[in-house]
Amino acid sequence: MIIILLFLNKGLTTFLGWVGTFSYLIAYLLLSAGKLKANKDLYHILNILGAIGLTYNAVALSDYPNVIVNIAWAVIALWAIVLIRRRRQN
Q: What's the predicted TM-score (pTM) here?
A: 0.86
Residue 21 included in any domain: yes
Q: Which residue has the higher pLDDT, 77 or 8?
A: 77
Q: Please check whether residue 74 lies inside any domain of the structure.
A: yes
pLDDT band at 12 (very low <50, low <70, confident <90, very high): confident
Report if residue 27 sits inside a domain.
yes
66 within some domain: yes
* Number of folded domains that form the chain: 1
pLDDT tens, residue by residue, 13-64: 888 999 999 999 999 999 999 999 999 999 999 999 999 999 999 999 999 9
Domain range for 82 is 10-89
User: Does pLDDT of 7 surpass 60?
Assistant: no
Question: Does some domain include residue 4?
Answer: no
Segment 45-59, tens digit of pLDDT: 999 999 999 999 999
Which amino acid does the sequence have at 72?
Answer: A
Is residue 3 included in any domain, yes or no?
A: no
Residue 54 within a domain = yes
What's the Cα-to-Cα distance from 80 to each of 14, 49, 65, 83, rounded to whole Å?
Answer: 28, 14, 23, 5
